[in-house]
Structures are given as structure tokens and as C-alpha cells.
Chains A and B, each alone.
Chain A
Amino acid sequence: MNPTAVRRLAAYEQLSANPYRPWPARITSITELTDKETLFELRLIDDDVRDAFKFESGQFVEVSIFGVGEAPISISSAPSKQGFIELCVRNAGDVTGALHSRQCGDIVGLRGPFGRGFPFEEMKGNDVLLVAGGLGIAPLKSLINHIHDTRHEFGKVTILYGSRSPEEVLFARQFDMWRHRDDFDLHLTVDQPDETWDGDVGLVTNLFERVDVDPAKTFGAICGPPVMYKYVVAEMRAKGMEADRIYVSFERRMKCGFGKCGHCGVGHQYACIDGPVFNYWEAMNLQEAM
């Protein structure tokens, strides 16, 4: 093996030797998206660890702020972009709050990537229907960007995204641009519009009237607040999509991220290692899933 490969392998082993140990990462960019959500770009400091860090869309990292704690956060950037990751974080409590008070250049800890992501390879050659509610766009954003970077390998790509209000629309600027592209069919809706809003109004499920789905060659991907799944799945099923072509990403309380701490149980599975992305066929049979 060449020396670089050996070094990388060593770094990789180090990475996995103690999965509880966070690796220092520097915040290299901070973009405020809304009042509560901010996009953080992070770079692992150690070159070899950074090179060894490979992930899939839908996977998450544990963000670690020593003295405060850890929080699982989905990676929002695409695996096709290497050397950094983006996290879209809502200020929801201790760790996420502490992260929001950090500045560019500050160091935080990262562990991961953990969990099962979306079956990107399997999705290739198909249409994709992505449905996000609120912060659920965070993991889907990674998938969307990844698809974007390999756009020619996919059929029709439809994105349905519901937010509470126009101020809460995440990645608004980017989506605004995308609305005018014809390789992405993007629909935004808000529950409570204001005078600036010229898009749809109502629940994300209302948008289904506008989409045409070829159930045999479409994959669905859903992420949003707990109440949303049932209704969105029902719409997809109504369009004739099979349960095993729908993927859902779940949020649960998590401490370790790799199947030990027991917090993220969903039925007989753990959201951290068996998910967070579940095939709906599996999820259907999980107690407490939806």
C-alpha cells in the first residue's frame, strides 16, 4: 500500500477506535437562515481524519460541545462535496443553543457519520419525490444536492416542502432560484402566509394534487415533524407507490449515535443504527413509529 493509504487507514482506525470520542472541527462559515436556524460549515481539523470521513445523504453526526453535551444533526451538504460538511441547525436547547453562540473559527467536536442514509445508488435511474416539513429539509437537502450534482442519473425530481410561515422557509434563497429551473419540480407551501408570500398556502399534503407520479419508477423520501409522516405516506400510497419505495427519516432522542444508549428505540429497531432513514415497509411494522 502506498504511504498515504496507510496513513488514511490508520486515521480511519483511530476514528473508529473510540466511537465516543469527538474529533475537533472548525466552524468555517455561519449563515443565518431564519430566526432559529443557522447553517454551519464545519471542517475536521486533522487532515487524515477529514479525508477518512465519508458519508451518505441521510446520515448524521453527533455535534459535541464540551461542557454542554452532544446533539445528533443530519448532514445537509452532499457527499459529493468533500472536505467539509454543512449542518442546518435549529436552536432548540442546550447544545444547539451553544452552537448558535459560537463564532466562525471556533472549534467544536464531531463524531460520526452514523446511521443508515438514503439508498442513493438504488434510487438512480428513477424519479424521486422528496417531501419535507420544516426542519425536515435538513437531511433531504443533502440528498437534493447530491442528486443535483449527478442530475443526469435521475429521472423526474419533485420536491414538496412545507413550512409554518414564509420567515421559516429554510434555504429560501436557493429554492427561490430553483423554482425557475425545469430540472427540479419544486413546490413550497406555508401554513401562515404573509403579504410577501406568493406561493402555496396550506399543509404540504395539499401539494400532492399538483404532482404526477409514476409509481413504478418513483422513490419517495420523507422527513418532517412526527405528526407529518402518516399523512404524507397516505398521499404517496394513494398515488400508487409501494411501501418499499418510500423512505422516511426519523428523529428520536439519542445519546451515543451507534446503538448502545437505548434512547432512540422505534419499535424493535434503533433510529441510530437501523435508521434514521427507514424503508417504509419496515417502518410500517414498527410500533411507535408514526
Chain B
Amino acid sequence: MFFRVMDKDRLPDLVRGLAAEYEVIGPIAKGDEFVFAIVSDPTELRLDYDTTILPPKKHFMPPTESLMSFRVQDSEVVGEELDRTPRVLFGLHPCDINGLMLMDNVFLQGYEDPYYKARRESTLIVGLNCMPHEGCFCKAWGTDEVHWGFDIFLSDLGDRYFVSVRSVEGADLLDRCVETRQITPEDTAEFQRVASEFQASFEGQPDTSQVPLLLDAKYDDPIWEELGSRCLSCGACSMVCPTCYCFDVRDRLEPDGQEGTRERVWDSCLYIDFAEVAHGHNFRASRAARVKNRYYHKQWGYLSKFERVLCVGCGRCASACKADINPRIVIEALQAGGGSL
């Protein structure tokens, strides 16, 4: 990794430079909130965003995507396209970059997922530092920082960005698109100051040190029933989660019934039929069992495989959940002995 400094007023140059070669996707405003969307004009970019409604996973695994198209009559695959559009995801916060790396574990290990892989390989990541907002508990998981998983990373130093360059592509890009300069000792000092300020501004992060242990111990805790009675089984939490990856596969026929598309669509383990098998046996028939599964899978099951927890503490699920089911509160309640929230 090496470092450069870029004056803030150069930002439009960088974005335009990128846009000449890539589809640039960054945070823009939608109503009172923010979304990642194609940026057609650098002034649309809202680098002051707190969080987005959907995480960047939608650009690697769209909510609905075609796996292949087929002909019914002779069972032939007639089309199978990998999306290799050159893209830049601009302005990702550390939690979301960490989220992507957790997705990578699933989709790039074991059987490689060609669709995910193609998008991942053709996408550059430009990271951006942030300040914790109300719902963040990334620090509790150690996902508040990111040391790889990006091509370049911008840290806001007021009138300039401290640019960390991680990849060759990142370095090339910077060279081609925008004027930067060498870092000075003052820049480094300021960079450190900003980083410390960031660290200091976290308040009341939950203690997650015992989470796997707690989950093991509290499998039959009444807390799960309480959460279950509230849960709408709506799945909103899974949709907005940067690390929820479950999907369903459906065949859709064209109106003439001759050809069709096999599609992958986002699914949620909170839906009632997620674990139902033929003849109606449902391995998680109760809402309580399904809510519990979300926590066990994320903070215990995944951990057992990849030595990380499948949560980056972004707080999106808590704000999407109308039933006020919030992992942070659940963790704190379990830590406090369980029994009720």
C-alpha cells in the first residue's frame, strides 16, 4: 500500500475520469435517505452520507438476476451471460467493504459462483472513511476498519483526501484520472488524528466477546419467543443486510411458454417456507425459530466456518425492521442474562 494526497476540488476530476472508463456507482440522495446508484454527474455524489438503504451487495448479486435462459422443448440452455461491465463502486464505508469480503467467503470459496465472481472481478472499490452514526456497532465486531478489499481508499482530511492505494489498478487509475501529490508528515499526522477521532466517537458499543458462547447457552431462552411474536416474517432485515446472501431460484416462462429464464432472487430465512420440505414438514415452522436462526447463522454458524461473524454492525436491519428487532439490543439482552429484551 502507498499513500497520496488529493485536494478535494479534484474530486470531480477523479469521478469524471473514472466515468470515462467505468460505470460509476456511488451514494446519492433518495428522499431523506441515500442509495447506491449510477452517478451521472459528480455533483450528485453525497459523500456525506451516513448509510444507504441497500448495501452494495446488490451490484454483485442483484435482487433478481438471470442465471440462464432456456428452451423448454429440448431442455437446452440458450443463453448464459456473465456481467462483466467495468464498474467502480465509489465511496464505500469500511463496514460495507468488510461485508463484501464476507460475501466473498461464500461465493468464491468451494464451488465458485461464476455470476458473483464475474461482477466482483470487474468492479473496483473506492473506499471512504466515515463517522459512526446512531445505529452503528461495527466497532463491536472490529469491522470499523478495513485494510484490504479496496483499490483505493479516501480519508477525508477537511480540504483534502488522504488516499490509500491498495491495488495496481487503483494506482493506475489515480495516475490516469487525477492530479495527486506526495504525502507530507503533516498529512500523515492529520490522517492519524482523524482516525483517532473516529475511534473515539464510538459510544456504548456492545460487548460481543461472548456472543458465540452466549448463543450456545441461550438456545432455549424465552427471548426468542418474544422476538418471534414481534417478527412480521417480512424479510426486510435480510434484504438490507450487506452479508445476507440466501437466495431462491425460480424459472420464469416467456408468455409463449416456449422459452424462459432461470432466475436467482433474494430470499430470506425469515419467510415461513424457507425451510419447508415436501409433504409440508417445516424445519422452522415458528417465527421464533426463524428469528433465532438468523442470529445463529450469522453469529455462530458462519463463524464456525470462516472464523468471522456474518455481521458488520452496519445497523441497517435494525432500521429496516418495523418490529424493532435489533441485533445490538439482542446481543446486549443476552449478555445481560437473557429472559427478555
Contacts and interface: CB of A to CB of B under 8 A. Distances in A.
Touching in the complex, A and B, CB below 8 A? yes
Interface string B273-288: 0111111010110000
Given A17-B114, A252-B283, A268-B301, 7 more contacts: A20-B68, A20-B114, A67-B257, A107-B75, A256-B249, A262-B246, A265-B293
A19 B251 contact: no
A66 B247 contact: no
Nearest to A286: B301
Contacts of B260: 66-67
A260 B107 contact: yes
Contact of A66 (B80, B110, B251, B281): B251
Interface string B298-316: 0011111100000000000
Contact of B296 (A256, A258, A287): A287
B186 interface: no
The 10 closest A-B pairs by CB, nearest first: A262-B246, A268-B301, A92-B278, A66-B70, A258-B111, A268-B304, A107-B75, A67-B72, A19-B111, A255-B249
Given A253-B275, A259-B111, A265 B297 contact: yes
A287 B219 contact: yes
Interface in A98-128: 107-109
A8 interface: no
B262 A66 contact: yes
Interface in A207-258: 225-226, 251-253, 255-256, 258
Contacts of A18: 80, 114
Contacts of A252: 275, 277, 283
B276 A253 contact: yes
A17 B267 CA distance: 24
A93 B305 contact: no
Interface residues of B, number: 50
26 contacts: A20-B115, A20-B262, A21-B77, A24-B74, A24-B75, A65-B75, A66-B262, A67-B72, A67-B251, A107-B74, A107-B75, A109-B75, A251-B277, A256-B247, A258-B110, A260-B113, A261-B248, A262-B269, A263-B274, A263-B275, A265-B269, A265-B275, A265-B293, A268-B302, A268-B305, A288-B284
Interface of A: 16-22, 24, 64-70, 90, 92-93, 96, 107-109, 225-226, 251-253, 255-256, 258-263, 265, 267-269, 273, 287-288
Nearest to B281: A226
Nearest to B61: A260
Contacts of B302: 268
Contacts of A67: 70, 72, 251, 253, 257, 260
Contacts, number: 117
Given A259-B106, A265-B301, A66 B248 contact: no
B275 A66 contact: no
B3 interface: no
Given A21-B77, A93-B278, A251-B277, A261 B111 contact: no
Contacts of A273: 110
A66 B274 contact: no
A159 B207 CA distance: 52
Interface of B: 67-68, 70-72, 74-77, 80, 106-107, 110-111, 113-115, 219, 245-251, 253, 257, 260, 262, 267, 269, 274-279, 281, 283-284, 289, 293, 296-297, 300-305
Contacts of A92: 278-279
Nearest to A106: B75
A interface SS class: loop
Nearest to A266: B283
A273 B110 CA distance: 9
A64 B107 CA distance: 22
A9 B4 CA distance: 47
A269 to B, nearest CB: 8
B282 to A, nearest CB: 9
Contact of A16 (B77, B111, B296, B305): B111
B251 A68 contact: yes
Contact of A262 (B245, B253, B284): B245
A260 B106 contact: yes
Contacts of B276: 253
A288 B283 contact: yes
A194 B21 CA distance: 75
A198 B269 CA distance: 46
Nearest to A45: B75
A68 B253 CA distance: 9
A38 to B, nearest CB: 15
A228 B127 CA distance: 52
Contacts of B281: 225-226
Nearest to B74: A107
A262 B238 CA distance: 12
Nearest to A25: B75
A66 B257 CA distance: 11
